[in-house]
Amino acid sequence: MAVTAGILIGLGFSPLAASGLSLIANTAPVAFGALGTPVITLAKVHGYDLMEVTAMIGRQLPVFSLLVPFWLIWAFAGRKAMMEIWPAILVTGLSFAIPQYLVSNFIGPELVDIIAAIVSMVSLIAFLRVWQPKKIWASPSMRGRDISAAEAKPARTPVRHSTADLVRAWTPWAILTVFVFVWGLPAVKTFLNDLYAPKFPIDGLHNLIEKMPPVVLKPTKEGAVYVLNLLSATGTGILLSAILGALVMKYNPLDIIKTWLRTLWLVRFSLVTIVLMLALGTLTRFSGTDTTLGLAFANTGVFYPFFGTLMGWIGVAMTGSDTASNVLFGGMQKVAAEQLGLSPNLMGAANSSGGVMGKMIDAQSIVVASTATRWFDHEGDILRFVFFHSIALACLVGLYVTLQAYVWPFTLMVVH
């Protein structure tokens, strides 16, 4: 999000336009962001089947991947301008939505956004070589009143890079894509786990907690076993791809180690936060807190698919992370769905799909946007601009999930 906001500023967009558009766009891809971490964490912490819940999310978000590009242009330039370039918008949305569905349903969560984004960019570039809009929008400011318009800077002169420079710049991403794809293959994961994946039952917790009806059909002991799958973890593939990419780029091995240590120091607080959020999710699971919340929310009855989706939105708005929201409320969604006879995969996916729409209003994202655009002390202005878009899109996701829960043929999309 910070990168795209900076790019838009460089292209001459006003600070409000750069911030607001980046925040709105940072929605539909978020569930599969960070190489699928939100979905992987949801499955691991709360016992969902990874491929099933990934496929379910892949049957919800592509609709909004198609919608968001239209929404972006409407927010920036208005409905009339949107209609003038609808063919390009349609190509952009479809070329992202279709790969998003295919990869999530048939490969896994790790490469969904990477493949979809590459296909979308290439498709739009190819389409614009054969189609051009009649009118070019040259204003760097938002449609209507833009209080940051005066601060828009002239666009930088484009620099044409050599083919060799472009290949060199894309090489690390190509290596990363190959490694993550290979690491995501079930056969590879099984092979690596057979090599090394020790299991540690947690003394004082393993099989000492029992789930009781109506949460489960019969009393069930809750296992607490930590699996140290160092080799098959996606992070291991990413680390190896980073090392290989750096060597291909002719970095000195000592410089690689120094950069890794410096990066580790820079993200130390983020790593601690992630660990604490995972710990909190584990605590809510084994203490029964998520079960209690799930039973309470089940009282909303037929309206639960809508309100359960908004719970994911609230979780991301509060924590700033789709991963954290899934950790906090993934168990609750599962329990409530089972109580109401709904698919747990549907509501687990809804927590993540609805949550992504809260990403544009969380404090962390807004601060990142204001920092990236150098529009300091205007966080309130950014929030006021994106708030309507956030809640409107979240409600649309809630309505779509409700259709999937009850209305044919949308019910055929649900993974049971």
Q: What tens digit of pLDDT does each residue of 8-59 get?
A: 888 888 888 888 999 999 988 888 987 788 999 899 888 899 999 999 999 9
* Residue 69, in any domain of the structure: yes
Cα 214–344–409 angle (5° rounding)?
125
* Residue 86, in any domain of the structure: yes
Chain-centroid distance of CA 285 in Å reads: 23
Domain that residue 54 falls in: 2-134+162-196+231-413
Radius of gyration of the chain (CA): 22
Distance CA 209, CA 224 (A): 9
Contact 396, 390 (CB under 8 A): no
* Residue 47, in any domain of the structure: yes
* Residue 36, in any domain of the structure: yes
Choice among 151-165, 184-198, 399-413 with the minimum mean pLDDT = 151-165
pTM of the model: 0.78
* Residue 140, in any domain of the structure: no
Please state, as a whole number, how many other Cβ atoms lie within 10 Å of the Cβ of residue 228. Answer: 11
How does 280-304 read in b/e, with b if 16+ C-beta sit within 10 Å? ebbebbbebebbebbbebbeeeeeb
Query: Tell me: the pLDDT tens digits for 236-279?
Result: 988 999 999 999 988 999 999 999 998 888 777 767 766 776 78
235 confidence band (pLDDT: 50, 70, 90): confident
Burial of 98 (0-12, 13-18, 19+ CB in 10 A): middle
* Residue 205, in any domain of the structure: no
Per-residue pLDDT, averaged over 122-136, amounts to 92
pLDDT at residue number 213: 76
* Residue 374, in any domain of the structure: yes
Query: Tell me: the pLDDT tens digits for 350-407?
Result: 999 999 999 898 877 887 788 778 787 788 888 899 999 999 999 999 999 999 999 9
* Domain count within the chain: 1
Instruction: Return the top range by mean pLDDT from 170-174, 177-181, 316-320.
Output: 170-174
Query: What are residue 82's phi and psi, to 5 degrees?
Result: -60, -45
